[in-house]
Amino acid sequence: MSYGRGIGRRSFLQILGAAGAGPLILSARAGKKAKPKAANDLIAIGCIGVGSRGTADMNGLMNAGLEDARVVAVCDVDEKRRLGAKERVEKFYAARLGKSDYKGCAMYNDFRQLLARSDIDAVLIATPDHWHVPIGIAAAEAGKDMYMEKPLGLSVAEGRALCNAVKKAQRVFQFGTQQRSDARFRQACELVRNGKIGRLVTIKVGSPFGIRAERDPEAPVPPGFDYDLWLGPARKVPYTEKRTKTPYWYHISDYALGFIAGWGIHHVDIAQWGNNTDHTGPIDYEGTGEFPPKGELTDTPTRWLVNCLYANGVKLVYADEKQVRHGVTFEGTEGWVFVDRQRIEANPEALLKWEPGPADIHLYKSDNHYRNFLDCIRSRKETICPVETAQRSDTICQLSDITIRLNRRIRWDPEKEQIPGDPEANEWLSKPKRS
């Protein structure tokens, strides 16, 4: 089995530390404490990975930062994508700024060339998941703040390595769980945190289920596509058309964990927020799942149902949406509240008219995830979803995947980030990397 086996934590971190290494010298800003930027000093942004999600994030950053930020570079291993992104950026600024001092958008195939530019302040990382952490660590070492798409990576050890790098370099980090910047989700969590549904008993999280896809034949690598760099730290395998395309790579464990992490992380993150457990997580996991038959292209969970228990006694039920309603349901001793991206519901319904007063708990307020990131680059304050919060939410997805793969219960120590007395399960906390 290729997932998470045969390498210890120390060896993994040594390999991971080398993942961002290369022949280029990165910014001399690395290791220096960043100061708040002056109000008239534009924030320069580089975008690494400009596929469908990366382009959406790039558009969000350009719109949110029209007054004080500029996308100055794009990077992608697909020549067509980077050419398209460059054109999109330059057309955007031409239409909104007219004649200005904007000098155009550079483009790169290799992210290390972009990170080597000392004039770039921050980066968007929206590559396939297996590249998130190596690029993030390299960005931190190069002195760049970063907006990173979810999930963090492919293992608990990867996430911790990124946390350490971000903290050591004192970088601003925003995780792409944008629901924290949605008023509906904030309202639901404030109702829970202020005890309006009584004592919280159970949280139910429903996520889109995974997909299956049969293997397709080996094919020539398309012109202008750097397949070896796309693979990066993943094992080397022949190119096929489906392998690098959305939605297939999301469901191949060499590159992602499937929707148990790639989509479910959104709602798991809200469960953490409502439970006030952003710096810890459940201590007990047990569940079952279904996987594609061996030999297919995809090999991540298609279905899952995991029961988790927090130290505070709250139960988390995490499943695909065929088994649990899509969204987040907080159930308490005196009522419940449900929230997804379209609606918020509560019982009793009158709860939805409640607003926190001066003496109540007010959660971090952000109305735009991209703007929050840019504001924190200036202020050097924590974003609404910083790296430690990201790691703890991500870990729930990771451990849910592990417990259903092992098909047995596992215990978790959130402080040590280990599975006590279980060497077999601990082997799944890291994943081998191609040098």
423 and 316 together in one domain: yes
Quick one: DSSP state of residue 236? P
What pLDDT score was predicted for residue 435? 81
Which of 351, 294, 199 has its CA nearest to residue 2? Answer: 294
| Residue 297 within any structural domain of the chain | yes
Question: Is 260 found in the same domain as 344?
Answer: yes
**Are both 192 and 326 inside the same structural domain?**
yes
- Same-domain pairing of 189 and 277: yes
CATH number at residue 354: 3.30.360.10
* Contact (CB, 8 A) for 308 and 284: yes
Structural domain containing residue 246: 183-213+240-365+392-429
On average, the pLDDT of the chain sits at 93
Per-residue pLDDT tens digits for 162-198: 999 999 999 999 999 999 999 999 999 999 999 999 9
pLDDT digits (tens, 9 = 90+) for 201-244: 999 999 999 999 999 999 999 999 999 999 999 999 999 999 99
Mean per-residue pLDDT for 103-121? 97
Confidence of residue 98 (pLDDT cuts 50, 70, 90): confident
Q: What is the pTM of this model?
A: 0.93
In this structure, the answer to whether residues 190 and 322 fall within a common structural domain is yes
Percent of the chain with pLDDT over 90: 88
Residue 309, φ and ψ in degrees, nearest 5: -130, 125
Edge-to-edge strands of the sheet including 145-148? 106-108, 69-75, 43-48, 122-125, 145-148, 173-175
Tell whether the model's pLDDT for residue 77 goes beyond 50.
Answer: yes
* Structure confidence by residue, pLDDT tens digits, 411-429: 999 999 999 999 999 999 9
Same domain as 133, residue 244: no
Q: What is the pLDDT of residues 250-263, one digit of tens each?
A: 999 999 999 999 99
Q: Has residue 168 been placed in a domain?
A: yes
420 and 324 belong to one structural domain:
yes
The model's pLDDT over 57-72, given as tens digits with 9 standing for 90+, comes to 999 999 999 999 999 9
Task: Judge whether residue 304 has pLDDT over 70.
Answer: yes
Looking at the fold, whether 279 and 203 belong to one and the same domain comes out as yes
For residues 281 and 185, what is the distance between their CA atoms, to the nearest angstrom? 19
140 and 253 belong to one structural domain = no
> Is residue 50 classed exposed, middle or buried when 0-12, 13-18 and 19+ CB atoms within 10 A define those classes?
buried
